[in-house]
Structure 1
Amino acid sequence: MKLEELITEDNIILDLKGGNQEEVIDELIERLRENNFISDPLIFKEAIYKRENEISTAIGDGIAIPHAQSKVVKNPTIIIGRTLAGINYGGEHVNLIFLIAAPENASEDHLTLLSKLSIFLIDESFRAKLLIARKQEDITFAIKNQEKKQENSVQAKSDTNKYLIGITGCMTGIAHTYMAAEALKTAAKNRGMRAKIQTNGANSPENILTVEDVNQANAIIVAHDVEIDTSIFKSKKFVDVPVKKAINEADKLIDLALSYKNTKEQISKKDNFSDKAKKSTKFNFYKHIMSGVSYMLPFVVVGGIFIAISFMFGIYASDPNSDQYNIFAHFFSQVGGEAGFALMVPVLAGYIGYSISSKQALAPSMIGGMLANIGGSGFLGGMIAGFIGGFSTKLIMKSMSKIPKNFQGLISVLVVPLISTFIVGAFMFFILNTPMSMLNNFLENWLSGLTGANAVLLGALLAGMMASDMGGPINKTGSAFGLAMFAANIFEPSAALMVGGMVPPLGIALATTFFKSKFTEQERDAGKACYVLGASFITEGAIPFAAADPIRMIPANIIGAAIGGALSMGLNISLRAPHGGIFVIPIAANKPIIYIGCILIGSIITCLIIGFLKKPLTLEEQKASSEQISLF
């Protein structure tokens, strides 16, 4: 059975009406009932929420995969729902929901197919195709092509009697951990190899490797985004990669691991994971920062929008001593500014620490972040507090690892947080806050005083970075700078950054409309969806086009975005909500009409550059495009 056999067009909803998690799940379950896949919606809903209450099925990248096995499921299926505006789902912003319904006695084949879907969703280009799909059949077509692509990528190799072992561990220990393990095991099975992959999940490690496993192994792969103890491997060489690489390139990694030709020296059975770990990788500072930013972002968005709403009542309407005073303006200002904004830096610091050393680092790092707020060191001080809290906690826990187990609970709850909080607090209070607050004041004064050419150049740089790799490290660096300025109540960079995110899909949409002869029919259809995606500040709509023709598309995106961003900064446009696109511009931008004009100018320039650079398709190319597996 293939994955496409579990997904029907009747079970695809391209425009979900629900505005929150519960409404969306109800909508999807009702469609399953209408299509006769379940016999009792209430029982199935109870099974779905039993799973959600254990841990949210939002896996990141705008995706949630709620799932349940139940006696009321008549036939296994996957129902797909899409909301371009997005919803809050378990604390994550989600656009795509894949609800999996499996019978109580679901076969192994069915469960394997469901795990395959999870693996597909890691592919950024595949996700983008689902976001820009205009019809249900576009979704099923993309899934069919993705399945065929995976089948074609499996090389005919025979490594019978060889043994692959490995460890996987992602940031949350939920979906990606198991997707990577599944990808490695599938690739090994296709070669005729045995495989055992230890998964360092959210609760505890499963399928734990033994010394015998290591002695027998011909290939070892460690795929992780968090620190993993690899001491059991001793002197044996292993492939060390991020989790996504194992999901996307499992076959290549096995080739590399086999090429190491590890000698068969035997490791003593007395050796185990309690040995001192060998450091195989450096700490990923970027990963920890992005983890903190992802948890901070909802506070930024909510705080910014609430403050913007308060200003709609009048500039001074939230001040009880003003003639403009309005109690609702006061409410929105207090919730957004005094509560939401006040939590941004502590949450950033807390979850940087959490990324480094789990929950024991949360309290000291968050307290350090609050001290950064109080002492004026702000966003940058919060980041430093998070790292100090995380690494000091890790060091203290490691130094106390030999204390009897009976006392470990007390140590993790009381001793470790107490000592690490003292370290973070002392560093922030006596060393960092004073010079960092001076640096922040200088930076804020400099940015606030930017006019003319300087403001134009900064706007162009930020928007161009946003459009350059659409979610990659350059994009994230620009976003982090914008968030730092946002936390310091400087809102002009946020406006330039949103221009950079909206221009690429909008510019491509215009190009597919006005230069039809230069795009295939499928590309023109996808271009229509880019209008909605671009207006919603969903840059991913541009990814399939950029991936298919990077030499022309990427420069066009960057130039158009940079010009739009330069105009935005040059005209002193501020934006008090860094996300949301057209939905927040009317209430969050100080000059909404002019701001929309900046976005349109950048989009038109991108469109014209694409139209100039791309050549019209020949009749042969048009014919070939309809016969080949389409990009879309």
Structure 2
Amino acid sequence: MPKYDLVGATGCATGIAHTFMAQEALEKAAKELGYSIKIETHGQTGIENDLSPEEIKEAKGVVIASDVDVDAERFAGKRVVIVPVAKGIKDPKGLIQKALNPATPIYKPGQVAKVSNNSQKSESFGTKLYTLLMNGISHMLPFVVAGGVLIAISFLWGIYSADPKNAQYNQLAFTLNKVGSTTMNLMVPVLAAYIAEALAKRSGLVVGFAAGMITFAGGGGFLGGIIAGYLAALVVFLLQKAFKVLPDKQFRGLKSIFLYPVLGVLIAGTIMFLLNGPIESINVSAMNWLKSVQNSDPIVLGLIVGAMCAFDFGGPVNKAAYVTGTALLAQGNFYFMAGVSAACIAPPLATGFAVLLNRKSYSKSERTAGYVNFLLGSTHITEGAIPFAAKHPLWNIPAFMIGSAIAAALSYVSKIKVPAPHGGFIILPLVNHPILWVVYIVIGAFISGVLLALIAKKFEGKDSESSMSVDIFGAGEDTEDIKEEITEVNQKEDDHDPSEILNINNIKSDLEFTSRDDALKYLADLSVKNQLATDSKKVYDRYLAREEEGSTGMTDGFAIPHAQSAAINESAMIILKLRKPIDWNSLDGKPIDTVISFLIPQVDSNEHLKYLSNTAKLLTHPDFIKKLKATNDPAAIKKLFTEYKA
């Protein structure tokens, strides 16, 4: 059985794209850093790529990037990093470095890793609450989609075709509508059940489902389902504590089958019954306010709904807007969902427009993803926009929000009706003004696309590493162009031998520095002295900027700093051997005595990543490391890099 340096798990609420994007991002980052990793995925099809106890035991660290429960207790005794799935897409290298850092606390069963300050503690607690919520949404969503699509199909015979008293009545439409409505009504109980299940397992599932049914019957809605789920989890958790005095060996069956479910349902159910009145009042007030805004100021409503839908792409804010739309659909309000759907469809379309408007600022994989997003967006699948949002979130997410808000506001101003909760452009026959609705969505998406293209132009060449290298379809198996690109890269990968860009004049030994920054300043000055660059300060600033993104200190006393700048004339490698080791915040916490630096021109086509990758692979060979450490002779070092192949 193979051994892995790291193991991990990814999961998201929808289980469609985020899960596998985070998996691929972590696997690529680990490969670039020279580590082996195995990621278990928790998607809509279930758990795949399962981790065995032996694989977990042998791993040096664990990365959990998930919005759903992945049974973290099995990683007890390991250094574990637990973050939302989006973090796994945005900062995979940082997570891997943290998981291998000796300063990362050991995870123990039933508790989040210990932290040293209050802000981290509140974040850990908040992450746990978020995970419980997203576990509920993950299991709820298929009921919403299945029920919503069946209801949408029933409307093909007319909006009132399920009403026996109306002239449009059709028996098949009535059946489809009844089945769809019943399925949709399971939304709140399932939400509550799986919020509770994430913390309290099977007993929580039972109590959560019962509490969810009670709040649904009492008009609690989505808010009631969330409260019921957390309440059920808390009640079962407290019951488990209270009955801990009863030995598991003799009373495990009694507790799990009788005591926990019976007492849990009684306590949580009674509390929810008492809370139904206040919760229903809150829901009614919120609905009435939204209706009043829809009638009095549809533009403001569009801004609110659009911003919510594009804020976290499938997270709780997005889902709050979506579920509100489905609830209003049940009341016969078809206007609200028009804005929600428009705001969800616009972001992926925007990425397609962005890559069309500014091809040069995007890599080939980014352009391919943008083109595919035209199809994804048309079917109401928003996840394809996530890699673009994650690249420069403080810039790109507001750009998405602007376009979504415009699309939603225009839909409300024109009083467009969308009677189905899902389907994208597939449900156009059900829309009262289908062409106008599509035009509004395209307008919003195009505006976001223009903004994204301008932002990409602003950051062009400033990213020292490719921030988006995730293919949301696993490997693009169905696209011939991507197949050819992968084949071409595989054929040329061995050509990027680090020795090709290593000159003997760029190898210096027996040096002494007081700090990391002192060494970086020497590298920048040497690059100008050896005519590899024209401006020492610009090169030095790029070195520092890269270190701020994450330390380039590796393991075994090596650091691999790199700088990309217009002041650099050509790709080059510089090697420094230090007389005394210096601190570099390395992965293993050890000081650095060997610096392998890369200089990268502004226009590079990511060639430096291949040189970096091959150098990192060389540093996984103990024999290579031993020989490199043993010599300070520039000629011998050059020969060593020439003879060894990654």
Is the CA contact (8 Å cut-off) linking 2:203 and 2:256 kept in structure 1?
A: yes
Letter in 2 for 1:221: R
After TM superposition, the structure 1 stretch with the greater mean CA deviation from structure 2, 288-297 or 242-251, is 242-251
Please state whether the residue corresponding to 2:79 is helix, strand or coil.
Answer: strand
Is the CA contact (8 Å cut-off) linking 1:184 and 1:251 kept in structure 2?
A: no
Letter in 2 for 1:296: M
Please state whether the residue corresponding to 1:322 is helix, strand or coil.
Answer: coil
Q: Distance in 2 between matches of 1:362 and 1:319?
A: 35
Counterpart check, 1:257 vs 2:137: no
Q: Distance in 2 between matches of 1:178 and 1:246?
A: 19
**Which deviations, in whole Å up to 9, do the C-alpha atoms of 1:418-467 show, x marking residues without a partner?**
111111222222x2112222222222223233335633222222222332
Q: TM-score, normalised by structure 2?
A: 0.57
Please state whether the residue corresponding to 2:416 is helix, strand or coil.
Answer: coil
Q: Distance in 2 between matches of 1:221 and 1:305?
A: 44
Please state whether the residue corresponding to 2:169 is helix, strand or coil.
Answer: coil
Letter in 2 for 1:350: A
Letter in 1 for 2:605: S
Q: Which runs of structure 2 are paired with 1:363-442 in the superposition (5 Å)?
A: 363-404=206-247, 405-429=249-273, 431-442=274-285
Counterpart check, 1:300 vs 2:180: no
Equivalent position of 1:604 in the other structure: 446
Distance of aligned partners of 1:178 and 1:312 in 2 relative to their CA distance in 1, 3 Å threshold: same
Equivalent position of 1:318 in the other structure: 162
Letter in 1 for 2:257: V
Q: Distance in 1 between matches of 2:164 and 2:604?
A: 69
Is the CA contact (8 Å cut-off) linking 1:292 and 1:348 kept in structure 2?
A: yes
Distance of aligned partners of 1:586 and 1:186 in 2 relative to their CA distance in 1, 3 Å threshold: farther
Letter in 2 for 1:596: V
Please state whether the residue corresponding to 1:376 is helix, strand or coil.
Answer: coil
2:22 pairs with 94, 113, 123, which one?
Answer: 123
After TM superposition, the structure 1 stretch with the greater mean CA deviation from structure 2, 467-476 or 312-321, is 467-476
Q: Which runs of structure 2 are paired with 1:481-500 in the superposition (5 Å)?
A: 482=325, 490-500=333-343
Distance of aligned partners of 1:245 and 1:510 in 2 relative to their CA distance in 1, 3 Å threshold: closer
Is the CA contact (8 Å cut-off) linking 1:177 and 1:243 kept in structure 2?
A: no
Distance of aligned partners of 1:123 and 1:289 in 2 relative to their CA distance in 1, 3 Å threshold: closer
The Cα shift of 1:414 comes to 1.5
Is the CA contact (8 Å cut-off) linking 1:502 and 1:538 kept in structure 2?
A: yes
Please state whether the residue corresponding to 1:397 is helix, strand or coil.
Answer: helix
The Cα shift of 1:556 comes to 2.9
Q: TM-score, normalised by structure 1?
A: 0.59
The Cα shift of 1:511 comes to 3.1
Q: How many residues align?
A: 445
Letter in 1 for 2:79: I
Q: Which runs of structure 2 are paired with 1:60-99 in the superposition (5 Å)?
A: 60-61=11-12, 94=16
Please state whether the residue corresponding to 1:532 is helix, strand or coil.
Answer: helix
Distance of aligned partners of 1:389 and 1:549 in 2 relative to their CA distance in 1, 3 Å threshold: closer
Distance of aligned partners of 1:400 and 1:251 in 2 relative to their CA distance in 1, 3 Å threshold: same
Letter in 2 for 1:582: F
Please state whether the residue corresponding to 1:451 is helix, strand or coil.
Answer: helix
1:150 pairs with 12, 26, 30, which one?
Answer: 30
Q: Distance in 2 between matches of 1:423 and 1:381?
A: 16
Distance of aligned partners of 1:490 and 1:308 in 2 relative to their CA distance in 1, 3 Å threshold: same
After TM superposition, the structure 1 stretch with the greater mean CA deviation from structure 2, 454-463 or 541-550, is 541-550
Please state whether the residue corresponding to 2:186 is helix, strand or coil.
Answer: helix
The Cα shift of 1:397 comes to 2.0
The Cα shift of 1:392 comes to 0.8
Q: Distance in 1 between matches of 2:323 and 2:57?
A: 34
Q: Distance in 2 between matches of 1:247 and 1:175?
A: 23
After TM superposition, the structure 1 stretch with the greater mean CA deviation from structure 2, 417-426 or 507-516, is 507-516
The Cα shift of 1:403 comes to 1.4
Equivalent position of 2:499 in the other structure: none
Counterpart check, 1:510 vs 2:385: no
**Which deviations, in whole Å up to 9, do the C-alpha atoms of 1:302-331 show, x marking residues without a partner?**
222222222221233222233332111110
**Which deviations, in whole Å up to 9, do the C-alpha atoms of 1:187-239 show, x marking residues without a partner?**
569xxxxxxxxxx986x976876xxxxxxxxxx6345689xxxxxxxxxxxxx
Equivalent position of 1:593 in the other structure: 435
Is the CA contact (8 Å cut-off) linking 2:352 and 2:374 kept in structure 1?
A: yes
Letter in 1 for 2:451: I
Q: Which runs of structure 2 are paired with 1:552-563 in the superposition (5 Å)?
A: 553-563=396-406
Distance of aligned partners of 1:183 and 1:590 in 2 relative to their CA distance in 1, 3 Å threshold: farther
Letter in 1 for 2:22: D
Letter in 2 for 1:251: Q
Distance of aligned partners of 1:578 and 1:153 in 2 relative to their CA distance in 1, 3 Å threshold: farther
Q: Distance in 2 between matches of 1:457 and 1:483?
A: 20
Letter in 2 for 1:328: L
Please state whether the residue corresponding to 2:165 is helix, strand or coil.
Answer: coil
The Cα shift of 1:345 comes to 1.3
Q: Distance in 2 between matches of 1:393 and 1:512?
A: 51
**Which deviations, in whole Å up to 9, do the C-alpha atoms of 1:74-120 show, x marking residues without a partner?**
xxxxxxxxxxxxxxxxxx76469xxxxxxxxxxxxxxxxxxxxx9xx
The Cα shift of 1:562 comes to 1.5
Q: Distance in 1 between matches of 2:198 and 2:368?
A: 41
Is the CA contact (8 Å cut-off) linking 2:395 and 2:455 kept in structure 1?
A: yes
Is the CA contact (8 Å cut-off) linking 1:154 and 1:251 kept in structure 2?
A: no
After TM superposition, the structure 1 stretch with the greater mean CA deviation from structure 2, 528-537 or 297-306, is 528-537
Equivalent position of 1:83 in the other structure: none
Q: Distance in 2 between matches of 1:626 and 1:223?
A: 29
Equivalent position of 1:221 in the other structure: 79
List alignment gaps of at least 5 residues for structure 2.
3-8, 63-68, 116-120, 462-565, 570-600, 611-646
**Which deviations, in whole Å up to 9, do the C-alpha atoms of 1:26-69 show, x marking residues without a partner?**
xxxxxxxxxxxxxxxxxxxxxxxxxxxxxxxx97449xxxxxxx
Equivalent position of 1:624 in the other structure: 604
Is the CA contact (8 Å cut-off) linking 2:73 and 2:110 kept in structure 1?
A: no
Letter in 2 for 1:605: I
Counterpart check, 1:572 vs 2:415: yes
Please state whether the residue corresponding to 2:162 is helix, strand or coil.
Answer: coil
Distance of aligned partners of 1:629 and 1:361 in 2 relative to their CA distance in 1, 3 Å threshold: same
Q: Distance in 2 between matches of 1:627 and 1:611?
A: 23
Equivalent position of 2:614 in the other structure: none
Distance of aligned partners of 1:473 and 1:516 in 2 relative to their CA distance in 1, 3 Å threshold: same
The Cα shift of 1:591 comes to 3.6
Is the CA contact (8 Å cut-off) linking 1:169 and 1:225 kept in structure 2?
A: no
Distance of aligned partners of 1:421 and 1:206 in 2 relative to their CA distance in 1, 3 Å threshold: closer
Q: Distance in 2 between matches of 1:253 and 1:318?
A: 56
The Cα shift of 1:488 comes to 6.3
Distance of aligned partners of 1:379 and 1:541 in 2 relative to their CA distance in 1, 3 Å threshold: closer
Equivalent position of 2:376 in the other structure: 533
Distance of aligned partners of 1:61 and 1:577 in 2 relative to their CA distance in 1, 3 Å threshold: farther
Is the CA contact (8 Å cut-off) linking 1:371 and 1:425 kept in structure 2?
A: yes
Q: Distance in 2 between matches of 1:175 and 1:450?
A: 45
Is the CA contact (8 Å cut-off) linking 1:467 and 1:500 kept in structure 2?
A: yes
Is the CA contact (8 Å cut-off) linking 2:348 and 2:376 kept in structure 1?
A: yes
The Cα shift of 1:179 comes to 9.5
Equivalent position of 1:85 in the other structure: none
Q: Distance in 1 between matches of 2:80 and 2:423?
A: 38
Is the CA contact (8 Å cut-off) linking 1:300 and 1:577 kept in structure 2?
A: no
Equivalent position of 1:465 in the other structure: 308
